[in-house]
Amino acid sequence: MLCRLLPRTAFRSIRNFSCCSRNLLSSTDLLLPRHLGPSDEQAAKMLKVCGYNTLDELTNKTVPSSIRISRNVTDQKEPRGEADVLEELKKAASLNRCDIKSYIGAGYYNTHVPNVILRNMLENPAWYTSYTPYQGEVSQGRLQMLLNYQTMIADLTGLPMSNASLLDEGTAAAEAVYMCLGMSDGKRKKFLISSDVHPQTIGVCKTRASGWGVTIEVMHHSQFDVSAKDVCGVLVQYPATDGTVDDFRELTKKVQSFGTKMCVATDLLALTMLAPPGEWGADIALGSNQRFGLPLGYGGPSAGFFATQEKHKRKMPGRIIGMSKDTRGKPALRMAMQTREQHIRREKATSNICTAQALLANMSVSYAIYHGPKQLTRIAQKARAAAKCFSAALTQMGYDLPNAKNEHYFDTVRIDNVPADTCLSACLKAGYNIRKLTDTCVCVAFDETTTEKDVQALVSAFAQAKNADNVTITVPTDVSVPDIFTRQTSFLTHSIFNSYHSETDMMRYLYSLQMRDLSLATAMIPLGSCTMKANTAAVMIPITWPEFANMHPFVPLDQAKGYNTMITQMEKDLCSITGFAGCTLMPNAGSQGEYTGLKVIQAYHASRGDTKRTICLIPHSAHGTNPASAVLSGHSVVEVACDTKGEVDVKDLIAKTNKYKEQLSCLMITYPSTHGVFEDKIKEIVSIIHAAGGQVYMDGANMNAQVGLTSPGDIGADVCHLNLHKTFAIPHGGGGPGVGPICVAKHLVEFLPTHPVIKTGGSRGIGNVSASPFGSASILPISWVYIKGLGSYGLKKATQMAILNANYMMKKLAPHYKVLYTGKYGQCAHEFIIDIRPIKAQCGISEEDIAKRLMDYNFHAPTMSFPVPGTLMIEPTESEPLYEIDRFIEAMISIRNEIKEVESGKMHKTNNCLKNAPHPADVVLADKWDRPYSREKAAYPLSYLRLNKFWPYCTRVDNVFGDRNLQCVCPPVKKL
Amino acid sequence: MLCRLLPRTAFRSIRNFSCCSRNLLSSTDLLLPRHLGPSDEQAAKMLKVCGYNTLDELTNKTVPSSIRISRNVTDQKEPRGEADVLEELKKAASLNRCDIKSYIGAGYYNTHVPNVILRNMLENPAWYTSYTPYQGEVSQGRLQMLLNYQTMIADLTGLPMSNASLLDEGTAAAEAVYMCLGMSDGKRKKFLISSDVHPQTIGVCKTRASGWGVTIEVMHHSQFDVSAKDVCGVLVQYPATDGTVDDFRELTKKVQSFGTKMCVATDLLALTMLAPPGEWGADIALGSNQRFGLPLGYGGPSAGFFATQEKHKRKMPGRIIGMSKDTRGKPALRMAMQTREQHIRREKATSNICTAQALLANMSVSYAIYHGPKQLTRIAQKARAAAKCFSAALTQMGYDLPNAKNEHYFDTVRIDNVPADTCLSACLKAGYNIRKLTDTCVCVAFDETTTEKDVQALVSAFAQAKNADNVTITVPTDVSVPDIFTRQTSFLTHSIFNSYHSETDMMRYLYSLQMRDLSLATAMIPLGSCTMKANTAAVMIPITWPEFANMHPFVPLDQAKGYNTMITQMEKDLCSITGFAGCTLMPNAGSQGEYTGLKVIQAYHASRGDTKRTICLIPHSAHGTNPASAVLSGHSVVEVACDTKGEVDVKDLIAKTNKYKEQLSCLMITYPSTHGVFEDKIKEIVSIIHAAGGQVYMDGANMNAQVGLTSPGDIGADVCHLNLHKTFAIPHGGGGPGVGPICVAKHLVEFLPTHPVIKTGGSRGIGNVSASPFGSASILPISWVYIKGLGSYGLKKATQMAILNANYMMKKLAPHYKVLYTGKYGQCAHEFIIDIRPIKAQCGISEEDIAKRLMDYNFHAPTMSFPVPGTLMIEPTESEPLYEIDRFIEAMISIRNEIKEVESGKMHKTNNCLKNAPHPADVVLADKWDRPYSREKAAYPLSYLRLNKFWPYCTRVDNVFGDRNLQCVCPPVKKL
Ligand SMILES: Cc1ncc(COP(=O)(O)O)c(C=O)c1O
Ligand SMILES: Cc1ncc(COP(=O)(O)O)c(C=O)c1O
Ligand SMILES: O=C([O-])O
């Protein structure tokens, strides 16, 4: 062990250090080499395999020279140390005034994130690095948690069908509008919203409805014209934004009797005490899960919930998790009714939710599981007790409290006929933010974290504001609400919600679920188009700093200087990286970015009087969110063909452009293409569109192959979205959260989205597309640390390494599988497609069989049948180590050999280790084994698996059965 | 789901809320109900099973009324919310001046804890909740990491044998003294220490050596009388405490030629550049791992390393991990040479290490694995580059730098002939602490975190201190050390240290090891005497706050007000809980507390001229650390017999007391006894000892059964230690860290340990027993949050619940297994023993077979054969949920039925599922299966295992083979 001489020149050969101007006092904890998989030495070997000497050589043969850039894409060139970057961010964070407590409410409340959930879910890569559970057999843990989630929402709202979360309360409301429109077969073009609904919710509905030709009318719900035949639905809020609780039973009956749907924005905590909308007949209930243990985070991410009646279930937007069974008949979960989703139905999708809020939904239901129904009620009682003793004191002082007066409130007190600013500053002096509703009206919203001291301090502030005598509060013992509002039914009675109330119980439950899931902590997840890169601990650490976690989105801007500093820097860097002039961080996912970008394009055309431009060209290979976004934004989709090389058929593009010249709004194009190729003709394509007066929207899902080498702006596009949860290191959380900012060229900046409460966006902005002004602000530090940590040098190098990893893998697999498309010089971009159709034709083994068999080798499958049916799309990212890449290659070759055995007749055509894959432990060790292959071949096709085996939890899940027998809440417990 | 009516009185029936004065605005995130396993409702049912109506009834029949107390054991009665307690602690923490950077050195250096290790090891319950790997088959993950650790130490020191960590550098040095003494067969009674060794190391050696009759002489090593025949060993430091590097080759040869052993305190980072002690012939190398990624934490915990030559291996102190094989011949790890350890050899043990620093050792080797040899060297070069450009600048200013002058230094610069205080205050003004060595000499120690800015700021401060012109530093490019010092050999060449340098690699490596280990995240660990209670996330969170993590132990006290506030409160609470007058937090484990307590007793006797009192009475049932501590502190052990009920044989006690009346120093007694019983005669026993002029030392390992119900002070003892890592919620870390404070009665306070650098302890203190003044200060927040969170109400309730859980389990198991001992009314304390000897006699199935079979049921075994051979001692703690307790009972009954099948001949006598246990996956699914029981019976003896199975990693490990073929570093990699 002590034999070889160590070269004295160690300094020079440190992995990935051969960059930039560095000296011996430079950081030794650089993020860059930790983020990348292969070392420089390994990269050199891999390049050789690909036939190149340097990364630049490879890049030059991959990215068309016509679009290459040489500038540094951010101001800071040098890669930096983790500690150094985190220190800078900590300094910025400390500018956030988190010493001031906010009782602003308006949909955002303080909450205690239970520490057991914080540590073992939010800060645990086994939970936060996994992807949307497309492969059910290795996702049963989070599928179970999402089923729990749906059960919770169904129970609390009193409506039996819940989806697995939407992006936020605002978009959930907009989805309700769309669903009501759909239920009227598109015929009723009006939707009424009560003026008592949160302003940001109204804003999102207005922005969105414009694309569907729906008029949103806002008025107090007492003014609703209930008998109007052109109204598809109404939306009220319960409790209202000012805290008032109204009895909507009458209204519900009335509107429904005229064929209008009743939608209710509501509050999960309040529903532990208030009769739920489902019980008084509402068609749809929606809202935010934020106060169920999700950090405020300056507005997000949280999750939106959405529930509806049984009869409407097939119209429900979003993802739904359902029970089914595996091939043995054992209960197994999977995503239900996927045929409704945009990645399959494309422009006919019921909604446009791809990345949702899975991690947040899982956290919020974990909160409910940990507390259980009694403790949740106790928490509600606490918030209400605070409101009660506060209003008693204020009443005593002579304040005018309209909703407290008749007990028509839950936890939010409205105070009328006051000088609002005086009240706000008195409270601020005491260390509290409250909400100004009008110049003469304020609200105070209490919550789980409120203490007696807090209430007393606020009471004293109000005494001061009035020069009144202070009143000492008395904590009430009875906090029940008036009988008409009282919830009479139990909820969360399932054992899941009544078993895990101690920390040990909860921790073990989380770990037992985690064990069922394959995450990046286990293995590579080579999902093409998903960019499952490293989410290093360093980038994740700041999101749980209290300075970022505990800030209300509507605090005065001067209290959020830390956030603003970070956000301004982020926007600047993203503009520079994309080659654009303006940016918004508001959209909560890629799909939302697409939507926002298309609305901006529309606004631009409209500003020039070009109102006829409504056609959106979309290549055949596009992701399903593109057509869905186009439709939702009010465009008509015209598909452009692809040629045999998988590239945009320029002839067809020209033909369509000519045909729709007057109506052409834009082209949506993914670059490099969803086929994994840098198309050479991209600039030509852009010119064709521009010449026809159209705009070019670039889908940035594949930015991981562009950063530092080229950019949408340099290519000539007008807008692009970025998936920060792909390219910029935000983890996927098992299906969200995401951040889908858009960057735009100069002429579009003025149309960037604005917000009804907080000033942001363009001078002629399109309104707000999310509930919160900066979208999922609290996870932006992830991308900030990533960008600052890598520097422009590292950002580019990461791109080059992603391209190398993909090309190396392709080169090694090419002798065994047919590679579908490559670029001019035979290179792929950062991902590539292998074609399984010839194999299937030959011997019946399908891409799905290979995907499931990979699980037996400790791998998550690549993307299946997107963008081309019958194929697998493989994306290793720059973060996968050479060891893991080689392990994948070895597994794929081993599987190819297994296929050969089927081809040759050596293995049975249907009863073989591929068709029967995956193989859980209880299958391979069952006393009975009558398969024509051995147990060991089933479980340990390669020898390393004996040392380190991830066990799939079930055999192949039956999708069809599940959709036929839709079961979307936890079934009653049977004795196991 | 919406059917049952929810009782309106929810508030009253919330679990565990039936306490104290609470109102609706009280905290809803109480720690207490989260820490406890059963709810109040469940407890009521369990009490019924035990034949009681209330917890108090049970307690009254368990704890003798003569020793019951009714006072509140801490000032704060009420249980508190997690957020509330953490907020208070955060406020205290903010008093620590962590804006000041310390370059004090002296064995403590700034370091970057790699975030991937921070998150996935230090903050991950799967790593921190496990116990010492007594059961190898479910501990292969951390055993592998400890083997890696030993390999790292062996490589870096150049000495082939390393143990798996000691408590700190100071005690490691003391162990070296003891080992040298032993190697001279106890004949050479002098040990020489260079005055260049850290003062705290010298201090520990002096304190410890006094017990062995060894004289420590301190002088510069150039003054050593090398030919003296009464010197068993010498200790030098390399580099020295002032940074100087000396060439010890000559000295080593000389002392060894006279039969004296050469011990070297050294520095792991320096050894990447300096020729290691092993290469120049040292017998022993030791030091601290702190700067390998362990937070400073105001002094600890870190880990001490210890390595020696092959020929001395069987004399080496501490735990050693070794390779062996399992019953199939597959490589498997386990603790080697346990027969040397105190729990088996008792008073003949080679050392007294029970709880060590496993988690810290694992973190430090993870740091080395993550960085690899090249990057470690680069880190060393960085520290050295800082020292070099600093000294160049100071030399230019005319400062006198004795060790820099001739390049005899690594990273620590000594500056002579200066007004030390002036230098210190100039540096402090710039934001830096440096070290004052004498009034005219200071040191500056650089490290991994030092930046150019730091060096320049210090240079400027020194310019100011001298009124000299500032000098701009120049970062050197060559930082090699003089040839005579240069390391010529490579190190960490094993693939383990050259594979996991990216975050993804490292994270997966940690997860793959974690999967092999059974921790509290998986299941109950009912290890009797070990108190595996919940380590809730809330108690763990503060230890990684930078305010606690980044503080040097030798900063001026006024910079550590946060620590001091917390420490003062802790000491007060611990005194109150134990009924004593004074406390020291210095000892790093229970064993160290024992040692400290006995030294304090000695000092007390000595202060009264009672120097003949050297006999320590210890009951037969005592833990092995007791006699070992007694011997190490210079006592002679006399054993007291136990009677047939397992209790102290009072007649024998009286006889021995009378016999040794004049010499009686003390009695060491564990209470409740290690047999799990509150002996009724405890007060009588105490009186007997006191009457004879002896002191009573109470081993506090079982304090979990006392807190709030009785106390050592109330019982009449004079000293006790506490295992904060048992009773006060510090996790076990897979075998450490621990904290073993002692509390003492008033007459002993003046003898509490002092420290050579920081003022603490009694006026006639015994010196320092650990390197750091407050021991493992950075984990004290865990116990602080625990105590404040529970309040005296909760502390008592936790004790009662621990007693209930044990008694419930005992009651349910009693029909199936023979319970060995109970108290007067048939109750056990917090643990109980079942006797397997009758079963073994009947059919050959042993306690070990049951322990291993439990693994197949997803359980860690109870404590095996302690304190009684052939038994199992079961301790569920208060934190285990009823579900898990019932699951354990069910498993034990199922195993009893399996045993019956052997008894009845239905199962083979040796080839059965007990003797063959545990059953790893690859065994039960092997193509070949020729066992007389089925695969499913092997793997799934109960049906829930099909849904949630933890797989043991290997079959039973062969201990004997491993000890015969001692292999304690990673073997060369073979192709797997
Ligand atoms: C090419 C492409 N466009 C758009 C999207 C949608 O992004 P999001 O999931 O963030 O909504 C995806 C998602 O995978 C994608 O692959
Ligand atoms: C009764 C008893 N005393 C002392 C000790 C030693 O404590 P430590 O492991 O902290 O050194 C133990 C350890 O388990 C014990 O059980
Ligand atoms: O670890 C014990 O020796 O109890």
How confident is the model over A269-315, as pLDDT tens digits? 999 999 999 999 999 999 999 999 999 999 999 999 999 999 999 89
**Structure confidence at residue A343 as a pLDDT band (50, 70, 90):** low
Residue A136 to residue A323: CA distance in whole angstroms: 11
A726 Cα to the center of ligand 1, angstroms: 9
**Structure confidence at residue A353 as a pLDDT band (50, 70, 90):** confident
Residue B870 to residue B835: CA distance in whole angstroms: 7
pLDDT of residue A912: 98
Residue of A nearest to B947 (CA): A953
- The type of residue at A342 is Q
Angle A848-A125-B525 (CA atoms, 0-180°, nearest 5)?
105
From the list B35, B480, B939, the residue facing A503 with the nearest CB is B35
Average pLDDT of the segment spanning A857-864: 97
- Residues of chain B above pLDDT 70, percent: 96
If you compute the radius of gyration of chain A from its CA atoms, what whole number of angstroms results? 28
d(CA B234, nearest CA chain A) in Å:
26
**Structure confidence at residue B347 as a pLDDT band (50, 70, 90):** low
**Closest listed residue to residue A766, CA positions, set A226, A204, A361, A233:** A204
Q: Which residues contact B973 (CB under 8 A, 6 or more apart)?
A: B494, B495
B353 lines ligand 3 (CB under 6 A): no
Mutate to test the pocket of ligand 2, among B167, B533, B620, B625 (most ligand atoms within 8 A of CB): B625
Is it the case that residue B2 has pLDDT exceeding 60? Answer: no
Q: Which of A9, A18, A24 to mutate to test the interface with B (most CBs of B within 10 A)?
A: A24
Task: Note if the pTM is more than 0.95.
Answer: yes
pLDDT of residue B972: 75
Tell me the backbone φ, ψ of residue A801, rounded to 5 degrees.
-70, -35
From the list B15, B505, B935, the residue facing A501 with the nearest CB is B15
Q: Which of A13, A502, A516, A886 to mutate to test the interface with B (most CBs of B within 10 A)?
A: A502
Evaluate the CA torsion angle B899, B905, B907, B911 in order and state its sign: positive
B705 lines ligand 2 (CB under 6 A): no
pLDDT of residue A387: 98
**CA distances (Å), A310 to each of A156, A162, A314, A965, B7, in order?**
15, 10, 9, 13, 28
Residue of B nearest to A387 (CA): B25
A894 Cα to the center of ligand 1, angstroms: 31
B873 lines ligand 2 (CB under 6 A): no
Average pLDDT of the segment spanning A633-659: 96
The three-class DSSP label of residue A449 is coil
With CB atoms and an 8 Å threshold, state whether A541 touches B379.
Answer: no
With CB atoms and an 8 Å threshold, state whether A3 touches B489.
Answer: yes
Strand intervals (E) in A294-401: 304-308, 320-325, 331-336
Contacts of A379 in chain B (CB under 8 A): 28
pLDDT of residue A7: 32
pLDDT of residue B195: 98
- The type of residue at A404 is A
With CB atoms and an 8 Å threshold, state whether B381 touches A15.
Answer: no
Average pLDDT of the segment spanning B921-932: 97
**Closest listed residue to residue A386, CA positions, set A415, A411, A416:** A411
**Structure confidence at residue A1 as a pLDDT band (50, 70, 90):** very low
- The type of residue at A423 is C
Residue of A nearest to B524 (CA): A504
pLDDT of residue B346: 66
Q: Are A527 and A862 in contact (CB under 8 A)?
A: yes
With CB atoms and an 8 Å threshold, state whether A536 touches B373.
Answer: no
Per DSSP, what are the bridge partners of residue B667? B617, B696
Is it the case that residue B975 has pLDDT exceeding 90? Answer: no
Is it the case that residue B223 has pLDDT exceeding 50? Answer: yes
Model pLDDT for residues A441-458, shown as the tens digit of each residue: 999 999 999 999 999 999
Contacts of B485 in chain A (CB under 8 A): none
Sheet with B441-445, side-by-side order of all strands = B412-416, B441-445, B435-438
pLDDT of residue B900: 98
Model pLDDT for residues B79-110, shown as the tens digit of each residue: 999 999 999 999 999 999 999 999 999 999 99
pLDDT of residue B897: 98
Is it the case that residue A5 has pLDDT exceeding 60? Answer: no
CB < 8 Å & 24+ apart, contacts of A16-23: A16/A40, A16/A797, A17/B378, A19/A79, A19/A793, A19/A794, A19/A797, A20/A77, A20/A78, A20/A79, A20/A791, A20/A793, A21/A78, A22/A78, A23/B385, A23/B452, A23/B475, A23/B477
Contacts of A114 in chain B (CB under 8 A): 29
Average pLDDT of the segment spanning B623-630: 94
**Structure confidence at residue B849 as a pLDDT band (50, 70, 90):** very high
The three-class DSSP label of residue B486 is strand
Residue B279 to residue B281: CA distance in whole angstroms: 5
Residue of B nearest to A519 (CA): B508
Residue B29 to residue A80: CA distance in whole angstroms: 40
Q: Is omega for the bond preceding B876 within 30 degrees of 0, making it cis?
A: no
Angle A637-A641-A643 (CA atoms, 0-180°, nearest 5)?
160
Is it the case that residue B13 has pLDDT exceeding 80? Answer: no
pLDDT of residue B6: 31
With CB atoms and an 8 Å threshold, state whether A537 touches B36.
Answer: no
Per DSSP, what are the bridge partners of residue A570? none
Q: Which residues contact B904 (CB under 8 A, 6 or more apart)?
A: none
Is it the case that residue B1 has pLDDT exceeding 50? Answer: no
B414 Cα to the center of ligand 2, angstroms: 42
| DSSP string computed for A616-674 | EEEETT--THHHHHHHHTTPEEEEE-B-TTSSB-HHHHHHHHHHTGGGEEEEEEESS-T
Report the nearest atom of ligand 3 relative to the CA of B343: 3
Per DSSP, what are the bridge partners of residue A262? A234
B32 Cα to the center of ligand 2, angstroms: 26
Strands A863-864 and A871-874: antiparallel
pLDDT of residue B343: 65
Question: Token digits for A877?
Answer: 């990212």
**Structure confidence at residue B345 as a pLDDT band (50, 70, 90):** low
Question: Token digits for A488?
Answer: 């009479």
Compute the count of residue pairs across chains A and B with CB atoms less than 8 Å apart.
318
Atom 9 (ligand 1) nearest CA: A355
Give chain B's mean pLDDT. Answer: 95
Average pLDDT of the segment spanning A794-818: 98
Strands A719-721 and A695-699: parallel
**Closest listed residue to residue B629, CA positions, set B580, B575, B670, B678:** B670
d(CA B517, nearest CA chain A) in Å:
13
The three-class DSSP label of residue A41 is helix
From the list A480, A491, A499, the residue facing B2 with the nearest CB is A491
Average pLDDT of the segment spanning A97-105: 97
Question: Token digits for B895?
Answer: 């195993």
pLDDT of residue A138: 98
Mutate to test the pocket of ligand 2, among B723, B727, B783 (most ligand atoms within 8 A of CB): B723
DSSP code of residue B468: P
pLDDT of residue B157: 98
Q: Are B650 and B619 in contact (CB under 8 A)?
A: no
Residue A211 to residue A226: CA distance in whole angstroms: 24
Evaluate the CA torsion angle A293, A297, A299, A303 in order and state its sign: negative
A703 Cα to the center of ligand 1, angstroms: 11
Give chain A's mean pLDDT. Answer: 95
Residue A202 to residue A234: CA distance in whole angstroms: 12
Contacts of A36 in chain B (CB under 8 A): 502
Evaluate the CA torsion angle B285, B291, B292, B296 in order and state its sign: positive
Query: What size, in residues, is chain A?
Result: 976
Is it the case that residue B684 has pLDDT exceeding 50? Answer: yes
With CB atoms and an 8 Å threshold, state whether B112 touches A29.
Answer: yes
Contacts of B880 in chain A (CB under 8 A): 504
**Structure confidence at residue A701 as a pLDDT band (50, 70, 90):** very high
Element spanning B44, H or E: helix B40-50
Site of tokens 């052409």: A664
B343 lines ligand 3 (CB under 6 A): yes
Is it the case that residue B311 has pLDDT exceeding 90? Answer: yes
- The type of residue at A414 is R
**Closest listed residue to residue B355, CA positions, set B172, B132, B178:** B132
B338 lines ligand 3 (CB under 6 A): no
Contacts of A452 in chain B (CB under 8 A): 23, 25
pLDDT of residue B337: 81
Phi-psi region of B176 (alpha: psi -120 to 50; beta: other; left: phi over 0): alpha
**Burial grade of B406 (CB within 10 A; 0-12, 13-18, 19 or more):** exposed
- The type of residue at B692 is A
This complex has an ipTM of 0.97
